[in-house]
């Protein structure tokens, strides 16, 4: 391609056009910024400096001067809700919705914010009614998420299943684990009311949704035991190993009790010992220790705990070893060992907790749903000290 001299003349022209465009944009930006109230920048500055109280005062002044400013109403309502002043947040968003000239897009936005106000205030019926009105709007996905939270709070598990599947179909991510847990909740309720025959089909659905659901497998065994099928329950509980070896600690006591019922306690001890070799766990040691003590005596129990302590040195393991040592210690040493054990035990009470991997909420018992953040399956089946040793 031949070079044309006039191309050089076009370069200054392009630069000039770019300069003019930039000047126009800057003038427009300056013009728009001048139309904003001074309080807007004050409020924004307070927000950036984490002073929400002063930011609210600044935004209130703007709303007084210009009641038609919808964006200021949204900012003010969100600040009220964040501070826990849900009644004031509700009034702000209700006032917005009462405006006949509010565009549809902003009306849906105000409706969504009002629903969040109701949810934060614990007015679940009103929140549900509000979010149901948004299922066909631009906030449909957010509304379904909020409805799912409401159904879980109210323990309306069939509706929670429907909402979760709706979110999944809308492309809002997989909800398989949650749906499987909702079926488990229904099955658990059936077992509490002594209806194992109703629980089993629900648990089958749970495992169809999520084959790795340990809780469903455990509950299948519980339902079979409730029907008198001990051998079937043992087979179900043993399947937990195939899903997650660390979770066998949660079924260890069930397994040991089951093997005692069928008259094969030694088989149960041997099985749990094999699990212990694969995944050491304080909860598992506790069950095996008591079983070995019952079947094989104090010396065998001491050797078991001592070997596990060498393999996984923890204060929880030391506490158990001291307990074993005290069983056949000379009378002169029992008081000293007891003093040391009490001291160690005091520390282990702080360490013998499960901890949510999402929010860090600690609890003495294992939860499938975290009481802190309400997420499912965020608790590892090991105590906090064991996790620290592993890391």
pLDDT digits (tens, 9 = 90+) for 372-389: 999 999 999 888 766 555
Q: So what's the pLDDT on residue 101?
A: 78
- For the stretch 175-226, pLDDT in tens is 999 999 999 999 999 999 999 999 999 999 999 999 999 999 999 999 999 9
Token digits of residue 160: 């929670």
For range 108-119, the mean pLDDT: 92
pLDDT of 106 > 80? The answer is: yes
Q: So what's the pLDDT on residue 21?
A: 45
Q: Give pTM, 2 decimals.
A: 0.76
Residue 386 counted as domain residue: yes
| Phi-psi category of residue 155: left, alpha or beta, with phi > 0 → left and psi -120 to 50 → alpha | left
285 — pLDDT class (breaks 50, 70, 90): confident
CB contact burial 284-315 (16+ within 10 A = b; e otherwise): bbbbbbebbbeeeeeeebbebbeebbeebebb
Residue 359 counted as domain residue: yes
Q: Which of 296, 292, 345, 354 is nearest to 320 (CA)?
A: 345
For range 87-100, the mean pLDDT: 83
- Give CA–CA dist 97/110, Å, rounded: 6
The verdict on whether residue 373 carries a ligand-binding annotation is yes
pLDDT of 26 > 50? The answer is: no
| Top-confidence residue, 73 or 21 | 73
Is there a contact between 299 and 306 (Cβ–Cβ < 8 Å)?
no
Token digits of residue 156: 């309306």
Structural domain count, the chain: 1
What are the start-end ranges of the E strands in the chain?
354-355, 362-363
Q: So what's the pLDDT on residue 280?
A: 78
Q: So what's the pLDDT on residue 130?
A: 94
Residue 320 counted as domain residue: no
What's the gap between Cα 1 and its chain centre? 64
Is there a contact between 196 and 176 (Cβ–Cβ < 8 Å)?
no
Residue 366 counted as domain residue: yes
- Which domain does 365 fall in, by range? 353-391
pLDDT of 50 > 60? The answer is: no
Instruction: Quickly list H helices, 66-195.
Output: 70-82, 86-97, 104-121, 124-132, 140-153, 157-169, 176-192
- Supply angle C-alpha 174, 180, 181, rounded to 5: 110
For range 356-369, the mean pLDDT: 91
The verdict on whether residue 359 carries a ligand-binding annotation is yes
Residue 242 counted as domain residue: no
Residue 162 counted as domain residue: no
Q: So what's the pLDDT on residue 27?
A: 46
Q: So what's the pLDDT on residue 44?
A: 46
- For the stretch 247-256, pLDDT in tens is 999 999 999 9
- Supply angle C-alpha 354, 355, 359, rounded to 5: 155
For range 14-25, the mean pLDDT: 46
- Give CA–CA dist 306/287, Å, rounded: 15
Residue 370 counted as domain residue: yes
Mean pLDDT of all residues belonging to the chain:
80
Helix axes 282-296, 315-327, angle to 10 degrees: 10
Q: So what's the pLDDT on residue 31?
A: 44
- Give CA–CA dist 219/254, Å, rounded: 11
């Amino acid at each position: 391609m031949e070079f044309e001299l006039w191309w050089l003349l076009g370069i200054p022209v392009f630069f000039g056009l770019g300069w003019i465009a930039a000047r126009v944009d800057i003038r427009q930006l300056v013009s728009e910024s001048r139309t904003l109230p001074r309080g807007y920048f004050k409020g924004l500055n307070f927000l950036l400096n984490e002073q929400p109280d002063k930011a609210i005062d600044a935004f209130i002044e703007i709303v007084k001067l210009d009641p038609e400013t919808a964006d200021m109403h949204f900012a003010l309502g969100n600040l009220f809700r964040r501070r826990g002043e849900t009644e004031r947040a509700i009034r702000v968003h209700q006032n917005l919705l009462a405006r006949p000239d509010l565009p549809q897009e902003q009306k849906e936005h105000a409706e969504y914010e009002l629903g969040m106000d109701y949810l934060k205030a614990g007015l679940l019926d009103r929140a549900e009614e509000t979010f149901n009105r948004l299922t066909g709007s631009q906030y449909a996905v957010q509304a379904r998420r909020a409805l799912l939270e409401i159904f879980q709070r109210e323990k309306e598990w069939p509706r929670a299943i429907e909402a979760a599947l709706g979110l999944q179909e809308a492309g809002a991510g997989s909800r398989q684990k949650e749906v499987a847990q909702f079926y488990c909740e229904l099955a658990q309720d059936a077992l509490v009311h002594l209806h194992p025959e109703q629980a089993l089909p629900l648990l089958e659905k749970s495992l169809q949704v999520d084959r790795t659901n340990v809780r469903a497998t455990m509950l299948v065994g519980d339902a079979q035991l409730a029907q008198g099928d001990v051998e079937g329950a043992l087979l179900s509980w043993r399947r937990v190993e195939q899903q997650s070896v660390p979770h066998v600690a949660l079924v260890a006591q069930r397994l040991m009790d089951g093997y005692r019922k069928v008259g094969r306690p030694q088989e149960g001890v041997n099985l749990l010992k094999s699990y212990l070799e694969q995944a050491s766990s304080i909860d598992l040691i506790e069950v095996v220790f008591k079983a070995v003590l019952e079947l094989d005596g104090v010396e065998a129990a001491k050797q078991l705990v001592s070997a596990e302590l060498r393999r996984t040195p923890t204060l929880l393991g030391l506490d158990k070893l001291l307990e074993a040592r005290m069983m056949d210690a000379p009378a002169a040493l029992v008081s000293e060992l007891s003093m040391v054990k009490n001291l160690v035990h005091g520390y282990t009470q702080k360490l013998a907790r499960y901890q949510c991997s999402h929010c860090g909420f600690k609890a003495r018992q294992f939860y499938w749903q975290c009481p802190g953040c309400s997420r499912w399956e965020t608790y590892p089946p090991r105590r906090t000290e064991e996790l620290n040793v592993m890391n």
